[in-house]
A and B are shown apart, each in its own frame.
Chain A
Amino acid sequence: GQQVMQIPQYQHVQEGEDFTTYCNSSTTLSNIQWYKQRPGGHPVFLIQLVKSGEVKKQKRLTFQFGEAKKNSSLHITATQTTDVGTYFCAGPTSYGKLTFGQGTILTVHP
């Protein structure tokens, strides 16, 4: 079946370093969403990308959707301890169904 793969599984950075997580789908996606889950919390929606090649920014976060609409990335510039958590991408893999990637656990050392 359709899959949404995400790498890396873990990322440890020093505060101030950049961070990137990548998401790949086996099929073309109509859109891709990104969520953040703080330790002990629930996933919270960050953004949705719809257009081929789309780039969106939220302060230090930059989201990209690939030209073929099969891959996406989230880049954080100059990480802070508040960025700690698990970042998930998610794509609609059939009517009404949203499948999540495996997530990237980000640890930021002060």
Chain B
Amino acid sequence: EADIYQTPRYLVIGTGKKITLECSQTMGHDKMYWYQQDPGMELHLIHYSYGVNSTEKGDLSSESTVSRIRTEHFPLTLESARPSHTSQYLCASGGLAANTGELFFGEGSRLTVL
């Protein structure tokens, strides 16, 4: 069983609030990812990281930001939430930076912005 955790699982928040979605993994993986997914829709890569102090933007433009200060932790922050940010955010981690092996996904954080 994969050891990757996301909190909160569900969040309902008002417009303009700052939020941080937490993601932690205990597998020592170098690579971590954030995907955005609307119900029944495709996975859009919004951020990824090869390792500590490395972050890159993904294929889908996002107003969110990420940081990777520790290997195991890859939080995503929205400075000012808007209704258009309502979605599910999935965190994933993989193996060594040079490889593209399987990804382990967290349970997801479902964000609703009113």
Q: Which residues of A contact B (CB under 8 A)?
A: 1, 30-31, 33, 35, 42-45, 48, 86, 88, 90, 92, 95-103, 105
Contact = CB atoms under 8 A, between A and B. Distances in A.
21 contacts: A33-B102, A33-B103, A42-B105, A43-B92, A43-B103, A86-B40, A88-B42, A95-B50, A96-B31, A96-B100, A97-B48, A98-B45, A98-B94, A98-B103, A100-B35, A100-B45, A101-B42, A103-B41, A103-B42, A103-B43, A105-B40
Interface string B37-74: 00011110100101000001011000000000000000
Contacts of A100: 35, 42-43, 45
Contacts of B104: 45
Interface of B: 31, 33, 35, 40-43, 45, 48, 50, 56, 58-59, 90, 92, 94, 97, 100-108
Contact of B58 (A42, A43, A44, A97): A97
- The secondary-structure label for the interface of chain B is loop
Given A31-B100, A42-B90, A99-B45, 8 more contacts: A42-B105, A43-B103, A88-B42, A96-B97, A96-B100, A98-B33, A98-B103, A101-B42
Contact of A88 (B40, B43, B48): B43
A90 B94 CA distance: 13
A48 B56 CA distance: 24
Contacts of B101: 48
